[in-house]
Amino acid sequence: MAKRFIPLTEVSEILDISSAQAYALVRSGELPAIKVGGRGQWRVETTALEDYIQRMYSQTRDFVRTQGEA
């Protein structure tokens, strides 16, 4: 069974970014996450990560399209 939630370390590995960048995405609200457990560990739902990735693809397409018109 696939995991529903993943820690920020896995998010940073999947996106090939630093842990600090993954944390910044969560803190800014760009990437929805929850805090769980007594130590308040951040977890990201895998579907939320996929939604974020798709949003970034869309934003990149829009950026490329508008830059091509300039």
List, in order of start, the domains of the chain with CATH numbers. Answer: 5-69 (1.10.1660)
Q: What is the pTM of this model?
A: 0.87
pLDDT tens-digit map of 7-40: 999 999 999 999 999 999 999 999 999 999 989 9
pLDDT tens-digit map of 57-70: 999 999 999 886 65
d(CA 5, CA 36): 10
Q: How far is CA 11 from the centre of its chain?
A: 6
